[in-house]
Structure 1
Amino acid sequence: MKRLSDVKRIGYGAMRLTGPGIIGPPADPDEAVRVLRRAIDLGVDHIDTSDYYGPYVVNDLIREALHPYPPELVLVTKVGARRDDAGAWLPAFSPDEIKEAVHDNLGRLGVERLGGVNLRFMDGHEGSFEDQWTVLADLRSQGLVCELGLSNCTPEQVKIAQDIAPVSMVQNAYNVAHREDDDLIDALDDQGIYYVPFFPLGGFSPLQLGTVDEVAAKHGATHMQVALAWLLQRSPNILLIPGTSSVAHLEENLAAARLRLDEADLAELDAIAA
């Protein structure tokens, strides 16, 4: 199975292939299938998903659209959370729930082995997780998971996990305006660990977004393309998983790989965080 070290740097995050609030089916299921198939046509070889998107909606769509999967496709999922009937995000974090969630993802996606599994911490989680990570390490030893990662985590949690089993990836919130993980990204790069940012445009002020728009206008690009291009140039260990429910937007996101920001652009964008 292809590993993260072999995938292209822009993949696809499938979370948006649902209804509002990441609950229920998409308004246009046929377009959702087209998005997934177009992603493969354009060379995407890394899809990020989870059983709790929908819940179950996204994984069912992925299987409908793409199974049997191209041999080069890496499917990465997340465990540690669940949704209630009102759409709230709740922990599903016991060792038994972690094990069950991995097997559920395997079954729903129709694969014998997952390319990756991220252990997802709820906001503010401060308790131990060694038992949960050990469960994932055991599933990896059984050949059911290729690589392991942490999501919404702290540097200290990365260190604790590393003492039990290798961490291949970290998935946290990060973008050009919100750079609390700068030191973590550099430390992970030194260790050969990938960093997968989510919310590449989350939490921008109008002033910050205006700066991104100015750089975008210079290149004839969109602000999202500039935000993605900045992330690609920020560090070589960053992998991207921008999500969309639109074929046109998918193509726009993938085109960001061809956008090269110059030193003046980078200086202007780096000033946003200050």
Structure 2
Amino acid sequence: MTAPTTFRIGGDLEVRRLGFGAMRLRPGDDEEAHAAHIAVARRAVELGVTLIDTAHLYGWGANEDLLAEALHPYPDDLVIATKVGIRHTATGEGWRHAGEPADLRVQVDEALRRLRLDRIELLQLHRLDPAVPIPDQLGALRDLRDEGKVGRIGLSEVTTAQLAEAQAVVDIASVQNRYNLLDRDYEPVLKACEAAGIAFLPWRPAAAGQSGAMAEIAAVAKEADATPTQVVLAWLLAHSPVIVPIPGTTSIAHLEENVGAGAVHLTQEQYERLDRVAATETP
């Protein structure tokens, strides 16, 4: 099976289909660790990654700061996608929803400053705020898009009903939900994205690859001369043309392994065997 190598987010923003999730990268007091995380971000770009996913939540801005330190000025073809809609708290779970229009506007300005950008090409709402009507939240992001601060708008962790309600307010370019070979609860959302041409960015996309002892995954990996992680990422690429995986790591070796999944070509028979894994095995 030969899967497309690129996808046009929003119909016009072309990225390679294997992106990089930067969540685990952090600046810090340890100079060696800091330099290592900078090196991972730079190596991702060297390997041809053109989509890097970050968020305000990841270190409360520290992740965005690190990416700017590592990569600015950005290559022309590099898309830094970030997320807003969550604020830090000193109590409870450590965070709260923050979907009020005025707050979203401030968060976008903060992200632009940290990332050293004039425009965020893909801005995703990290979580819908249950206390704020969806039209108000998406309307605020639509206004920011119309002002030129945002290029395209995405969502994260949404249902098909929430996606439909958001689409009634503004064009949705991407959805970022948890999804992998063994965790397909959001299959209906993926199908809705396929129907609308919306990019589907699964987080934890390689989780099943950590279960290398699972017989079928291990067998296909051996046949394909690949690692279990590469095989489950290749399955995602073959499963739907709108899937844009964003595996993350703090290791250059693991980064290279992940990006190498793009060169793994599954046969139809191998794809079908993997496709049956979730129904026959548990992690």
Q: TM-score, normalised by structure 1?
A: 0.89
Residue 88 in structure 1 maps to residue 115 in structure 2: no
CA distance in 1, matches of 2:24, 2:197: 29
Superimposed CA distance per residue, residues 41-93 of structure 1 (whole angstroms, 9 cap, x where no aligned partner): 11111111112211222111111111111111111111111233477342222
- Pick one of 59, 78, 82 that aligns with 2:64: 59
Size of the aligned set, in residue pairs, is 268
Instruction: Show the counterpart of 1:7.
Output: 15
Aligned to 1:157: 162
Task: Report the alpha carbon displacement of residue 10 of structure 1 after superposing the two structures with TM.
Answer: 0.7
Task: Please state how far the C-alpha of 1:203 moved relative to its aligned partner.
Answer: 7.3
How many Å separate the matches in 2 of 1:213 and 1:126?
A: 45
- The superposition leaves residues 175-218 of structure 1 with CA deviations (integer Å, 9 ceiling, x where unpaired) of 11111222322232121111110111447896984432222122
Residue 243 (structure 1) shift:
0.6
Aligned equivalents of 1:208, 1:235: Cα separation in 2: 26
1:100 aligns with 2:87: no
Moved more, 197-206 or 34-43: 197-206
1:28 paired residue among 33, 56, 63: 33
Partner of 1:238: 243
- Answer whether contact 1:81 1:122 (CA < 8 A) is retained: no
Contact map agreement 1:25 1:54 (CA 8 A) in 2:
no
Which residue identity does 1:227 align to in structure 2? Answer: V
The 1:166–1:197 alpha-carbon spacing in structure 2 relative to 1, beyond 3 Å, is: same
Structure 2 CA distance for partners of 1:117 and 1:99, relative to 1, 3 Å: same
Distance across 1 between alignment mates of 2:55 and 2:278? 31
What is the deviation of 1:126?
Answer: 8.2
Alignment partners' CA distance in 2, 1:34 and 1:41: 10
Computed over aligned residues only, the root mean square deviation of the Cα atoms, in angstroms, reads 2.5
Instruction: Write the mapping of 1:74-223 to structure 2, written as runs, cut at 5 A.
Output: 74-85=79-90, 88-121=94-127, 125=130, 128-202=133-207, 209-223=214-228
Letter of the aligned partner of 1:225 in structure 2? Q
1:225 maps to 230
The amino acid across from 2:94 in the alignment is A
Aligned-pair identity (%): 39
Gaps of 5+ in 2: 1-6
Report the Cα distance in structure 2 between the residues aligned to 1:12 and 1:181, rounded to whole angstroms.
21
Q: CA deviation at 1:3?
A: 6.0
Instruction: Give the counterpart letter for 1:13 in structure 2.
Output: G
Distance across 2 between alignment mates of 1:85 and 1:246: 31
Query: Could you say if the C-alpha distance between residues 3 and 102 of structure 1 is closer, same or farther in structure 2, counting changes exceeding 3 Å?
Result: farther
| Cross-structure match for 1:44 | 49
Deviations 1:133-164 (A, max 9, x none): 10000000001011001100011111111111
Following the alignment from structure 1 to structure 2, what is the Cα–Cα distance between the partners of residues 164 and 190?
Answer: 18
- How far apart are the structure 1 equivalents of 2:56 and 2:119? 15
- Alpha carbons 2:212, 2:228 under 8 Å: kept: no
1:247–1:128 CA distance, 2 compared to 1 (3 A): same
CA distance in 2, matches of 1:204, 1:256: 11
Which one is further off, 113-122 or 213-222? 213-222
Contact 2:208 2:229 in 1 (8 A): no
Post-superposition Cα deviations, 1:229-258, rounded to whole Å, max 9, x if no partner, equal 110000111111111111111111101001
Instruction: Identify if the C-alpha distance between structure 1 residues 187 and 25 changes in structure 2 by more than 3 Å, giving closer, same or farther.
Output: farther
User: Is the 1:9–1:240 contact (alpha carbons within 8 Å) kept by the matching residues of 2?
Assistant: yes
Q: Which whole-Å CA distance do the structure 1 matches of 2:274 and 2:16 have between them? A: 24
Cα separation, 2, equivalents of 1:192 and 1:126: 29
Unaligned runs of 5+ in 1: none
Q: CA shift at 1:98, angstroms?
A: 1.3
Q: Match of 2:4?
A: none
Report the 3-state secondary structure (helix = DSSP H, G, I; strand = E; otherwise coil) of the residue aligned with 2:122. Answer: strand
